[in-house]
Structure 1
């Protein structure tokens, strides 16, 4: 997928929470992406308790012309949601939008860069 294409979009997919403050870190990632890649269409979506749901977020991006969609699970590990729920939701998205190529990345916590950063944060004094 070409992240420089005007038809490329990213959904940052989180668990969701009843606490509205929980969203702030994920929305900060989205804001950083908007600053560094202003042409990129990106939004947050949530599995439960918080809107928009994945389907709503995908519908919005497709309505803006996205034809290549990357879903980035914002989880530290691959639990039940990543193993079972996300594949089912993605299958439904692919059926709903047959002309859209959907790619699901591994959970961000499985990326060695994130592991190294978290280890560094845990061993350094707070900013």
Structure 2
């Protein structure tokens, strides 16, 4: 049976290929944890694939439900303005898809606590 849903991890993007490693590590961990889903990375700019390209690919594979998870700590203009408009446009272009934009990860209390814990450990290790 083929997967019916997908998760797109959306990050900013960089020309430096090493920059993508943490994003791809999250992808690998999530794919291992959710083998019934398709997990893809997409980037706003500076490197492929774009969100548009990944949504198009998934739609042609028969995926019907997609969650877009922005891997951003802060809610700058991209997250607040550009991204909702982009997802709305993609939903209009692909009416058969259930396309949902999740809150950016920087809003999640668990991530904020984890970063505080890591910083506290760094201070202790000095």
The TM-score normalised by the length of structure 2 is 0.91
Q: What is the alpha-carbon distance in structure 1 between the residues aligned to residue 114 and residue 62 of structure 2?
A: 34
Q: Which residue of 2 aligns with 1:21?
A: 18
Q: CA RMSD in A?
A: 1.4
1:89 is the counterpart of 2:112: no
Q: Which residue of 1 aligns with 2:97?
A: 100
Among 30, 34, 40, the alignment partner of 2:37 is 40
Structure 1 outlier segments of 4+, above 3 Å = none
Q: Which residue of 2 aligns with 1:64?
A: 61
Please state how far the C-alpha of 1:6 moved relative to its aligned partner: 2.9
Q: Which residue of 2 aligns with 1:119?
A: 116
Aligned length: 122
User: Runs of 5+ in structure 1 lacking a partner?
Assistant: none
Q: What is the alpha-carbon distance in structure 2 between the residues aligned to residue 24 and residue 52 of structure 1?
A: 15
